[in-house]
Structure 1
Amino acid sequence: MNAYAAITEDPRHALEKGLEKVRAGMLGVQGSAQHMQPMTHFADWPQNRLWFLTSKDTDLVRSLSPGARAHFCVMDEKHGFDACLAGHLTEDLDRARLDEYWSPVAAAWFKGGKEDPMLTMLRLDLADAALWGSTGNPVKFGFEVLKANLSKDETPDLGVHRVLTF
């Protein structure tokens, strides 16, 4: 099922499956004047949270303030899926989560392993998410573009947009 159909049918499920298909996205703190940064995410759907492993000396961690709102954006062109998730971002070194998410890839970034003094975690408590899904059908794409070009009042209907609140 493509993202267009999945988001139309069940946006929450489409979001969960969409995030499973992408390795990373861009995370940024609203109002910090810092650029968004690429981060690998770990989803905790029962708690409506995303987790990230990072270093305490990053601009992202330094820009945090109490109640900081952040955005995490992902794009999956192959599946026609885009999402922007928002919520409150907090530094939270949860040792149980760290054990769950630790991997050889994470170990490559932290030479002191799970005890590296610079290692920390960020927790994004989700408030809302915007999802976009586009059709993967080339016939529909061609038809919609043709229809739009034949009428000054038409625009192509090639996608769906939904907003979720957590």
Structure 2
Amino acid sequence: MADTLTPAQAEKEFWDSLKDSNTGMLGLDQAGYHHQPMTGFGEPETGTIWFFSRDDTDFARDVAVGGQDGMFCYQAKDQKVQACIHGALSIDQDRARIDKYWNPVVAAWYPDGKGDPHLTLIRFDAEDGRVWVSDKGGVGFGYQILKANLTKTQPDVGGVSDVNLS
């Protein structure tokens, strides 16, 4: 990846992409811990991503222990942005956030609606990570692969940058 991507550009691309394609893999940042697919609602102004969960899942119980570090691995549907973000996990019952992000997909997991006794929010305070951005598209990617094979060079498929999101 030869393109120059500044941390500010990478951070903006990540947050913008998360608005449109908000599912990734979230888990504790621990050896042997399996991440799971989760839908996140990002707030770039605070560096926070909110996830709905049931409090009777292993993951929510593990987060509820407190002081847990997490990892959010992300790939946009259009594959333009990929990221691996480290941060702090906690349980939060912020009613304003529940109201703000509640939608029919979320509601499907909670038979008793917003008053479901198992409804909880997992708060992910993003700290740092790495973001990859490629806007070459399918044709551009193919061209770069062809060019690299013909010239015996590496393809230029985008940029990568470390980011500090806290």
TM-score range, shorter chain: 0.7 to 0.9
Aligned-residue RMSD, C-alpha = 2.5
1:147 Cα deviation after fit? 4.3
Q: 1:164 — aligned with what? A: 163
1:78 Cα deviation after fit? 2.0
Question: Please, which runs of 5 or more residues in structure 1 have no aligned partner?
Answer: none
C-alpha distance in 1, partners of 2:8/2:140?
A: 18
The answer to whether the 8 Å contact 1:22/1:74 transfers is no
1:82 equivalent to 2:82? Answer yes
One-letter amino acid of the counterpart of residue 27, structure 2: G
C-alpha distance in 2, partners of 1:61/1:142?
A: 42
One-letter amino acid of the counterpart of residue 96, structure 1: A
Equivalent residue pairs, number:
162
| Gap change, CA 1:5 and 1:41, over 3 Å in 2 | farther
More deviation in 72-81 or 83-92? 72-81
The answer to whether the 8 Å contact 1:34/1:60 transfers is no
Bigger helix fraction: 1
1:44 Cα deviation after fit? 1.6
Q: 2:9 — aligned with what? A: 10
Q: 1:73 — aligned with what? A: 73
Map 1:9-88; keep pairs closer than 5 Å: 10-31=9-30, 33-64=32-63, 65-76=65-76, 78-88=78-88
Query: Which segments of structure 1 move beyond 3 Å, counting only runs of 4 or more?
Result: 4-9, 137-144
Identity of aligned residues (%): 37
More deviation in 119-128 or 143-152? 143-152
The secondary structure found in structure 2 opposite 1:14 is: helix
One-letter amino acid of the counterpart of residue 133, structure 2: G
| Gap change, CA 1:144 and 1:71, over 3 Å in 2 | same
C-alpha distance in 2, partners of 1:53/1:19?
A: 16
One-letter amino acid of the counterpart of residue 99, structure 1: D
Map 1:97-116; keep pairs closer than 5 Å: 97-116=97-116
1:35 Cα deviation after fit? 1.6
The secondary structure found in structure 1 opposite 2:45 is: helix
- TM-score, normalised by the number of residues in structure 1: 0.84
- TM-score, normalised by the number of residues in structure 2: 0.84
Q: Which of the pair has the greater relative contact order for Cα pairs under 8 Å at 6+ separation?
A: 2
Q: 1:130 — aligned with what? A: 130
| Gap change, CA 1:141 and 1:40, over 3 Å in 2 | closer
The answer to whether the 8 Å contact 1:83/1:132 transfers is yes
One-letter amino acid of the counterpart of residue 91, structure 2: E
C-alpha distance in 2, partners of 1:123/1:70?
A: 10
Question: Please, which runs of 5 or more residues in structure 2 have no aligned partner?
Answer: none
| Gap change, CA 1:77 and 1:24, over 3 Å in 2 | closer
